[in-house]
Amino acid sequence: MPELPEVEAARRAIEENCVGKKIVKSIIADDPKVIDGVSASEFEASLLGKTIVSAHRKGKNMWLRLDSPPFPSFQFGMAGAVYIKGVAVTKYKRSAVKDTDEWPSKYSKFFVELDDGLEMSFTDKRRFAKVRLLKDPASVAPISDLGPDALLEPMTVDEFTESLSKKKIAIKALLLDQSFISGVGNWVADEVLYQARIHPLQISASLSKESCATLLKCIKEVVQNAVEVDADCSRFPLKWLFHFRWGKKPGKVIEKAIEVGADSSQFPNNWIFHSREKKPGKAFVDGKKIDFITVGGRTTAYVPELQNLNGVQSAKAVVKQRKQTSKRKGSEDDDGDNGVDAPESAVEEVTENVKSKRGRKPGGQGAKPSKKRKSKESDDDDSKHHAGDDDDDADELQETKSGKATKNKQAKAVKTSKEKVTSQKSKNQKKKAK
């Protein structure tokens, strides 16, 4: 997903190449799921003849200020991206359009041509983005609901520590909450927690002041570093987790990065980024295993060897692990017993049959199995153990027909006591043997 660095790179590309130019043509997609609250024709008409004055961003949202309102705003969603054609874009690789590319893309939702021939398009392949036409984008939702921008409005250590002390939720989930701090998404959250050596599930309020200060420092460094290189992953620091968090198989790294507009094939090799979606036990960073859990509804990559739960959570984690180990051991023991103790398995089978009969209504059609059905069941059970022995089958059938009362008593015995069932079954087996 595009996060603050990717959206800021798009804003800068527009700022450097489109500001001061007049819109001479516009094409808005007829897609109400993405084009929110206004018709395509009305949107197009409002843009024609307007000049782009500036480009703004807060969190993962961007908007263009024109020489008069209303203004187009863009919520990037999962795959929103800005592309520019007609100028040699070298810094903003994700915005460049090749001559062989389809243009405008079939995924284009917002397209404008400027008076110098330059063309700009906002695309969304997965249709989770929102493109709106607003009088004052910053004064209405979703932008007005956002917390301080992670790049433009950094908190002080005291402010950050005080804010965390009131939050009794996992720190990863809190970082993803855009009303707390805007612009931090999934990969940025994983990266800063990895670098700060904080477990994603650590309760925010339990963090020490030192941990809070370290985390704030890492947020600033990761965001600023990514923005300074215009989200060009080939220039991300080699020590980042980023590089190990994406592809489950070789080749998936590049595909995933391109989908969100980043060239991750060139990201520094030791970022966790490259391995965050690999299967457990298959991803490593600096020789240390990366594990994957779900936090705040999102797949989360972390390094257990470096990111440990602290305080009360640490003690609870140990107890939980012991219980799980004990449970697994108990299951293994039970499996061994079941594999040897055949009579116990037989009792459980009979008990299960009787339980299934309890659910039937008295006097109902299936309340009492017919003699024929009992005979067939007895015949089938016996044939498993005495295949080809017709004399034994005939004896069992005769016993079933004449021993209805005995069978009913046996069923009652099973309901009240497992031991009585075992005793009754042993008697029946002795009769069969005779």
Q: Which residues are catalytic?
A: 2-3, 60
Cα-based distances in Å from 418 to 16, 59, 263, 410, 422:
82, 65, 66, 11, 6
First-last CA distance in the chain: 75
Residues facing 51 on adjacent strands: 22
Instruction: Find tokens 């099973």 and name the residue.
Output: 414
Q: Helices in 229-311 by DSSP H: which ranges?
A: 252-259
Q: DSSP secondary-structure letter at 37?
A: S
Q: 257-293 b/e with 16+ CB inside 10 Å = b?
A: beebbbbbebbbebbbbbbbbbeeeebebeeeebebe
Contact 421, 347 (CB under 8 A): yes
Contact 148, 89 (CB under 8 A): no
Tokens for 147?
A: 């917390």
Residues facing 153 on adjacent strands: none
Of the candidates 267, 276, 305, 308, the residue with the CA atom closest to the CA atom of residue 289: 305
